[in-house]
Structure 1
Amino acid sequence: MSVNDKELEDFMPALELNWTDGAVERMKNVPFFVRKSVVRGIEQFAKDMGIEEVDDAVVSRARQEREGAAIAKARAEKTQTSTDNGENKEVKRQYVNFAFYKLDPAFRRLPKEEREEAKREFTDFLEEWDANSKMILLSYSMVGIRSDCDIMLWRISYELEEFQRMTTRMLLTKLGSYLNVTLSYLSMTKRSMYQDMFNPEHEEDRTHIIPGKAKYLFIYPFVKSREWYLLTQFTRQGIMDEHIFVGNKFPSVKLNTTYSFGIDDQEFVVAFETDYPQDFVDLVMELRETEGSRYVVEDTPIFTCVAMSLEDAINSLGI
């Protein structure tokens, strides 16, 4: 027998305590696929408090208690320290930048000798910077894939100013003066506030990114609706459980989520690494069917990038 939308909307799991009509009605505002876990959590709270009947007040107190615990946990993780030589140090978070460049066609009209010299100067600069700076620098080509950018530099550093120093130095090179920045996304690493219940041993320490282990990289900015943030943490975790479940079906795709709140226009920048683009296509299609997709405001433009050495990325410009 099929289940229609009305039955799903009215679905309530078996109750172990007495519930008032008002409390039951409030549960209908919770997505049906997480309603059972929400009800169980509220009833457990009531039992712990010696309460025999669940009414509106109990529902509110239970959810406030859960929210408070989640906030306390997030704060504890934020201030988590590691011991080094007997001294406590805060866990450092990384700055992340995805910079997209388009070559000015005027460069191709320069004499061959000038172009060759400019390429050598630019390649030497990038390789020297990569070898001697504290920055992680990865290069990608989008030549023949997108019309608005040719190459992308993925830069990761513990110092925001490092991006500025490198860019200033790059603009002083001849080839650098012909590269137009078409887009630049700035973000930071941060621990995820959602737990992976399907793979508890999966470490989600997003304070430190180790990138560059796959041939292809897919990047896009991400913004969620205000309605998403008005949901309780309990409800959001339930919705994310479905999202995480789908993601775990594609182990060949590694997700790097970074956070842009307050430092750039988007809320997140997501970067997926894989050797199998077809897996990423299937992953995105399945994610479209999840409850969480209702709350997506922006997830474009999407950039398909091919990993290359610094020299090969420059050579891909065909100059």
Structure 2
Amino acid sequence: MTADSPRSGSAGMGDEEEPRDFVKYAFFHLLPEWRRLPPRTREKGKAEFMRRLDQPPAGVLVRTYSLAGLKAGTEMLVWSIGTELERLQEFHSSLLGTPLGGYLETPYSYLGMARRSEYLGTHAHGGEGSESRRRPFDLPYLFVYPFVKKREWYALSFGERRRIMGEHFRIGHKHPRVQIHTGYSFGLDDMEFILAF
């Protein structure tokens, strides 16, 4: 490894395996046929869907957002975080297995892992390493931004990328009310990162 490598010396992430959380942002579209069902049928279907949202598997944290009238083709976002990918899959399968779930399509779905940034070095944020670091925000709005960094970024040395990201972090600290969740994607056709704030 070189001095420019993310794992060399005390500025690296260390050799210990850090706990990683899986994050999933599932955007749902409700088919128009649902609204044509009898009201009693819809009420029962909604009640079962809500029960499953309120009782996710152990270790899965959930936050929901209404997108009605805000994003064409989507009415709801379900943001879930868990330490085991299987629990997230179980949770989302259970939602789709409800009567309401049969009328849902998923136009967008982003999956990633939350982990400490390789650019932080020994820098620590308040609350890092605790349960609070993985808790979904309890705020009325969420901005979800999937993206890919360009090749030019990776053509820079690790030291230069760390310097640039250090400036990015310093600017971010000036706005403590803006909290960011960064997910690192790992699917072949996924975006590279998913930011949520």
Do the two structures share a fold, i.e. TM-score over 0.5?
yes
Matched, 1:241 2:149: no
Partner of 1:58: none
Paired letter, 1:165 = E
Matched, 1:101 2:37: no
Q: Per-residue deviation at 1:102?
A: 0.7
Matched, 1:144 2:81: no
Partner of 2:39: 112
SS of equivalent residue, structure 1 residue 91: coil
Q: Per-residue deviation at 1:144?
A: 1.5
How many corresponding residue pairs?
195
| TM-score (norm. length: structure 2) | 0.86
Q: Which of 210, 231, 240 is the matching residue for 2:135? A: 210
CA distance in 2, matches of 1:73, 1:203: 23
Distance change (3 Å), C-alpha of 1:74 and 1:113: farther
8 Å CA contact 1:100, 1:182 repeated in 2:
yes
SS of equivalent residue, structure 1 residue 66: coil
Matched, 1:175 2:111: no
Gaps of 5+ in 2: none
Q: Per-residue deviation at 1:239?
A: 1.7
Partner of 1:271: 196
CA distance in 2, matches of 1:75, 1:224: 23
SS of equivalent residue, structure 1 residue 217: coil
Alignment of 1:158-307 (within 5 A): 158-195=83-120, 202-203=125-126, 205=128, 208-262=133-187, 265-272=190-197
Partner of 1:71: 7
Paired letter, 1:94 = D
SS of equivalent residue, structure 2 residue 72: coil
Distance change (3 Å), C-alpha of 1:128 and 1:211: closer
Paired letter, 1:124 = R
CA distance in 2, matches of 1:118, 1:74: 54
Distance change (3 Å), C-alpha of 1:66 and 1:75: closer
Q: Per-residue deviation at 1:168?
A: 2.3
CA distance in 2, matches of 1:204, 1:127: 26
SS of equivalent residue, structure 1 residue 77: coil
8 Å CA contact 1:104, 1:179 repeated in 2:
yes
8 Å CA contact 1:221, 1:268 repeated in 2:
yes
Residues 174-216 of structure 1 show CA distances to partners (whole Å, capped at 9, x for unaligned) of 111001111100000111122389xx56348489512223222
Q: Per-residue deviation at 1:242?
A: 2.8
Q: Per-residue deviation at 1:76?
A: 6.2
Cα RMSD, aligned residues only: 2.7
Paired letter, 2:136 = P
CA distance in 2, matches of 1:157, 1:213: 16
CA distance in 2, matches of 1:171, 1:211: 22
CA distance in 2, matches of 1:73, 1:177: 53
Q: Per-residue deviation at 1:109?
A: 0.5
8 Å CA contact 2:81, 2:136 repeated in 1:
no
CA distance in 2, matches of 1:255, 1:156: 14
Instruction: Report 1 or 2 for greater relative contact order, CA contacts < 8 Å, sequence distance ≥ 6.
Output: 2
CA distance in 2, matches of 1:204, 1:102: 35
8 Å CA contact 1:196, 1:241 repeated in 2:
no
Q: Which has the higher helix share?
A: 1
**Alignment identity in percent?**
38
Q: Which has the larger radius of gyration?
A: 1
Gaps of 5+ in 1: 1-63, 81-89, 273-319
Distance change (3 Å), C-alpha of 1:180 and 1:262: closer
Distance change (3 Å), C-alpha of 1:211 and 1:128: closer
